[in-house]
Structure 1
Amino acid sequence: MYLAIPSQPDCATAWREGLRAVLKEGGEAHNVILDIADPLAKSTLADPVVSVVDTFLREKDKKPIETVANTIFPNALYRRHGAPAFYDRFMTRVLPAAGKNERWSGYYFERMINVGTATGETVNQLADIIDRLSDPAVTARNKYEFTIFDPNRDATRVSYGGQCLSHGSFKPRKTPNGERLDLTVMYRNHYYVEKLLGNFIGLGRLMAFVAEEAGLQVGSLTIVSTHAVADQPRGEVQKLLAACDQAA
């Protein structure tokens, strides 16, 4: 069982169509497939739709768009310090301020750059992916994975909380205009009002970072939401979509 949404050109449009489709399913759907041709387009508060959604979330006392996006990729930190310096800056300055506990800090980015191994060491998954993508001696095209789900910390009996993004897969793709970097991610659970648009934006920025560091162009973003929810009352979601349609 799946619900495939036709590919959309940008973040704001993909969010509207994804939420609209889940709402038509009664507010809940499984294995929703979303694709964005340009995940960097319409991805800032300067876009009227993004601004409308951000205002709605703030009025509901929910996390604003930029906060959600930053859990996936701290873009301002990268632009300020560059790589690899911003990795250490994140671990020593940002993460302690987040009130990290032993299970979940709230930052997907932490799991991407600081995953534990069986030997007790840690691996920076993003740095390793960039290193291999940048190496002309590496011919593999299908081994650029990163994991977020940790069975030792995340397989609990608690109903809520913890990570929702589980896995990501980067793919370099040859095109007539050069090599592009695509990204496919899987969510175990997805709140389409509170989180989806911010997730789109954060993932697009993550793609831009990896592509820039590896000397590639940004490609398309595909998200598989194994469980998707329109997580606000139906009437309010309809009004939000109407406001976004008007803004667009």
Structure 2
Amino acid sequence: MTTTLITGANKGLGRETARRLTAAGHTVYVGARDEARGRATARELGARFMHLDVTDDASVRAAAAQLEAEGGLDVLVNNAGVEPRLPGNAVPAPADTTADELRTTFETNVFGIVRTTHALLPLLQRSAAPVIVNVSSGLGSLAGLSDPASPVHFYPGLGYPTSKAAVNAITVQYAKALPGIRVNAVDPGYTNTDLNGGTGTQTVEEGAEIIVRAALLGPDGPTGTFTAAQGPVAW
């Protein structure tokens, strides 16, 4: 039986990924800060709830201890993320973004991945087919952001794309350092979720497709890649 932990899994892409992987036969832990929502989601999906705040060291250590006590971990989906939004759902401009605001975004999107991965690596390294999926974004593509012809070029904010570019670099470095683990970044696409105030053009079913695909990779699958459902994404 494959055991999978998904962070930020009580709604949106995380919830849909949990639903799909549970249906595929995984034992799925729904990681969530909101205990009531997380428990309800786990109950609805036939999954297990794990109280997890990726910005809190003690919470992540407790999750690692729980997983070890309950049999280990095979797949980690680093899905939890935040996007800065102003009242009215506007994205703050770079000139209006402070270092503290940027730090808040990085605390979840970047440091949260490192904190969680570091704590769970000993468990993943005991697995016969360990996998790490880092949920990135096309907005983390420097090639896309700098190309006026790219659909992501329009995005005006600073915090979210820089955090996702960091996620991509983290993915590459982990993949090189951990050849026994399939470590990949995925771009779900512009998906309609609470993260973007419901402005996305894809359904969560469409967005979760590449996350699920990466989570199901076997030991011979690719590693160190950045991929969307349609194929590779330029770094």
Q: Same fold (TM over 0.5)?
A: no
Larger radius of gyration: 1
Q: TM-score range with shorter-chain normalisation?
A: 0.3 to 0.5
Between Structure 1 and Structure 2, which shows a larger proportion of strand residues? Answer: 1
Return the TM-score normalized by structure 1. 0.33
TM-score, with length taken from structure 2:
0.34
Indicate the structure whose relative CO is greater, using CA pairs within 8 Å and at least 6 residues apart: 1
